[in-house]
Amino acid sequence: MSRKYILTAVAVATLTLTVGGWALSTLFVSPPSSAPQSNSTAQYADPNWAFPSQSEPATSLPDFRPVVTEVMPSVVSVISEMVVSGFFGRYTEYVAGSGILIDDKGYIATNNHVVEDAQSIYVELTDGRTFLANIVGTDSLSDLAVIRLNATDLPYVYWGNSSLLSLGEWVLAIGNALGEGITATEGIVSRLNVPVNVDGNILYGLIQTTAAINPGNSGGPLVNISGEVIGITSVKIVASEVEGIGYAISSNEAKPIIEDLIRYGRVTYPWLGVGVSTVTPLLAATEHLSVDRGALIADIVAGGPAEAAGLQTGDVIIRFADKEIVKLADLVQAIRGSEIGEEVDIVFVRGNDTITTSAQLIEHPSS
């Protein structure tokens, strides 16, 4: 099973239904000889039985039409012109994605992998107008980018608060599915705050949804029933046995990154200078650790903040800046929630000892 950005990866899922042997056997099993036998079912019958009355009318499904009408004009098709090298030399390829108009000045939020390495970027609005767009800023770590077209008085969407989402809540994914124009699909929120590894890059704080996400949806909005953007669709799991598992970058994760890209053209991240993995009971047993949760330091960058703070490989970080660290994702999010230059307290376990130190975070080298 693989996780792929939904710009280029797609698979046709084949669903096979099978009946287990246990299900078949129940059709032919005789009752035990000790079971009481009945010659008549009359003693169990109730001629006055009826379905219980329903005191209140059933709750109807939501009407998605107002949401689609409101949001769809703010969703654009993004076509990136790429020059690629192949067996027969260099050639031009056009890749389809989606974007979200976030103000009336032409700023568009999308995915980094939609516009990365593009020679030219074209944007088509739902009214048929086409514009040449320029890159404002990109960030590969979050897979987010901002582009801009030269137009004003454009329709735009409102940003929602993804921290208010609940499991089972209705959502719509709107985007340029399969490069055939803007379409909408409905689903629910399946999971929240999910980390997903995509080709070695871990995306954090994702929303898992059952809304159908297809190639071309990348960069399009995931909206709630109020028409607010609560995510940017980015990833789906591609495998023959998997269906209905797609992910969106949550609006609260995306918002500060988009703001930095518009204001500064880039995003800076604080950095500790460690390579870590999640401590599990199995890892704790094999590595003879005294704790079964936390972030195990597997590698330390020479001259980085972690080395200066006295951390070593084999240490297990269990608290960072007053935040409990249970797994790798907790540490990454705690670091990203800090400031460059900030001095943070770190609690770690070395052998059987619990030790507190402090480290001054610096700017991530990839910034």
pLDDT of 47 strictly over 90: no
| Of 232, 266, 300, the domain-final residue | 266
Verify whether residue 353 is a known catalytic residue: no
Looking at residue 45, its pLDDT comes to 82
- Calpha distance 301→187 (Å, rounded): 43
Residue 248: exposed, middle, or buried by beta-carbon count in 10 A (0-12, 13-18, 19+)? buried
Residue 240 pLDDT class (50, 70, 90 cuts):
low
Give domain status of residue 40, yes or no. Answer: no
Looking at residue 173, its pLDDT comes to 96
Assess whether 73 and 189 both reside in one domain. yes
Q: Which entry of 80, 98, 218, 234 is annotated as an active-site residue? A: 218
Give domain status of residue 34, yes or no. Answer: no
Assess whether 218 and 274 both reside in one domain. no
Q: Are 109 and 129 a contacting pair, CB within 8 Å? A: no
When pLDDT is averaged across residues 241-250 and rounded to a whole number, the result is: 80
Give me the CATH number covering residue 138. Answer: 2.40.10.120
Whole-number percent of the chain with pLDDT over 70: 85
Assess whether 152 and 232 both reside in one domain. yes
Assess whether 315 and 359 both reside in one domain. yes
When pLDDT is averaged across residues 39-62 and rounded to a whole number, the result is: 75
Q: Which entry of 143, 260, 315, 330 is annotated as an active-site residue? A: 143
Give domain status of residue 55, yes or no. Answer: no
Assess whether 274 and 262 both reside in one domain. no
Verify whether residue 143 is a known catalytic residue: yes
Q: Tokens standing for 194?
A: 């999910």
- Calpha distance 134→89 (Å, rounded): 27
Domain that holds residue 210: 3-10+64-266
Assess whether 208 and 341 both reside in one domain. no
pLDDT of 106 strictly over 50: yes
Assess whether 259 and 150 both reside in one domain. yes
Whole-number percent of the chain with pLDDT over 90: 64
Half-sphere exposure of 42 (CA within 13 A, CB side): 2
Computed over every residue of the chain, the mean pLDDT equals 86
**Which tops the pLDDT comparison, 261 or 365?**
261
| Of 219, 250, 266, the domain-final residue | 266
Residue 27 pLDDT class (50, 70, 90 cuts):
very low
- Calpha distance 329→336 (Å, rounded): 11
Q: Render pLDDT for 166-183 as a digit per residue (tens, 0 to 9).
A: 999 999 999 999 888 999
Give me the CATH number covering residue 349. Answer: 2.30.42.10
Give domain status of residue 82, yes or no. Answer: yes
Assess whether 321 and 286 both reside in one domain. yes
Overall number of domains in the chain:
2
Largest CA-CA distance found in the chain, in angstroms, rounded: 86
Residue 12 pLDDT class (50, 70, 90 cuts):
very low
Give domain status of residue 18, yes or no. Answer: no
Assess whether 87 and 180 both reside in one domain. yes
Looking at residue 24, its pLDDT comes to 36
Give domain status of residue 52, yes or no. Answer: no
Assess whether 143 and 231 both reside in one domain. yes
pTM of the model as a whole: 0.76
pLDDT of 232 strictly over 90: yes
Q: What are phi and psi of 144, to 5 degrees?
A: -120, 155
Verify whether residue 98 is a known catalytic residue: no
When pLDDT is averaged across residues 289-299 and rounded to a whole number, the result is: 94
| Of 240, 266, 292, the domain-final residue | 266
Q: Which entry of 113, 234, 330, 338 is annotated as an active-site residue? A: 113
Assess whether 193 and 298 both reside in one domain. no
When pLDDT is averaged across residues 89-111 and rounded to a whole number, the result is: 93
H or E segment to which residue 188 belongs:
strand 183-198
Give domain status of residue 357, yes or no. Answer: yes
- Calpha distance 284→289 (Å, rounded): 5
- Calpha distance 101→156 (Å, rounded): 5
Assess whether 134 and 221 both reside in one domain. yes
Give domain status of residue 244, yes or no. Answer: yes
